Amino acid sequence: MKKLSVLCVLLVLAAVPAFAGVYYTAKTTAEGGRGANMQDMTVQAWVAGGNAKVEFEQSGNPMMGKGMYMVTKDGGQTLYMVNPEEKSYYKWDMDSLMGMAGGMMKMMKLTYTDAKVEKISEEPDGLVAGVPTVHYKFRTSYTMSMSMMMMHKTTRVVKVEDVWAAPKLVEAGLGIWLRKTPPKTNNEQLDALLKAEMGKVVGFPLKTVTVETSTDEKGKSETTTTTMEVTELRMQVVPDSTFAIPAGYKETSMMGGEKGKGGEEENPFLKMMGGKRKPPQ
């Protein structure tokens, strides 16, 4: 009977497509600064090669509510946000977001000057979540100026980032959450500097501590400290079904618009800017 039970388990496992992969949990906290609580979140994730699923267990960001998850099957080149409560999903389209951000930058005449990104140190360090890491330290600084209508503001930003990366972790899907470089600023020069320096990190970060200090023209400073740390990590078999969007889920738009005639998405923000975009094929 025992042999029969073992045989049944093996047959079931053989029938479920699966790949050796990684499971991890990670927690992000932020202190100081306005809106810091929006960055507080806890996720659990499954990764196998370029496939990844990141589920939000706790989140201060309404766009990443509890129970929602991001999923990709190509290392993050195409990324979807899934909402099980509403049985819907939409393409997490960073190109559209950055395009709108660029438009806002032009409206506010937002500019970056005196930009500098430097690697301060790199040395082997201890374990994070049981995995050997290399500790990198980077310093980024720039002056940000904004001019809109009668309002003018200049802010000096200095950011110090400590990164503990695991060089032996190479699965591309890890990059959708465990990022080597920060989100783009939409300034070509600064983004190129960030990519050139912080892109030197080998493997993927298991812990980051970022201390950002902003000082305005009157000398008033504000400091925000953001910490992301992987608290649990293990290798395990991950079924391919983990990365599938459930059948019957409705596709919607990132900004809440609905699909128009011909299968195109009617995005209210993009429409206001004179554009539509086709749904993913």
Which residue has 């959450």 as its token pair? 177
DSSP E strands: which ranges in 169-269? Answer: 204-216, 221-239, 250-251, 258-259, 265-266
**Domain annotation covers residue 189:** yes
Whether 276 is in a domain gets the answer no
Q: Provide the domain limits for residue 82.
A: 13-248
CB 92, CB 79: distance < 8 Å:
yes
Is 28 domain-assigned? yes
- DSSP string for 174-187: GGGTS-SSPPP-S-
Give me the number of domains the chain comprises: 1
Instruction: Look at 259 and 248; give whichever has higher pLDDT.
Output: 248
Q: What is the pLDDT of residues 117-160, one digit of tens each?
A: 999 999 999 999 999 999 999 999 999 998 877 778 899 999 99
- pLDDT tens digit string along 219-253? 999 999 999 999 999 999 999 999 999 999 999 98
For the chain, the farthest-separated pair of C-alpha atoms sits apart, in whole angstroms, at: 82
Residue 165 lies in a domain: yes
d(CA 215, CA 174): 34
Burial class (CB in 10 A: 0-12, 13-18, 19+), 253: buried
Span 167-186, mean pLDDT?
A: 89
What mean pLDDT do residues 16-30 have?
82
What is the pLDDT, as a whole number, of residue 183?
79
In a domain, 280, yes or no: no
How many CB atoms sit inside 10 A of residue 208's CB? 20
Predicted model pTM: 0.79
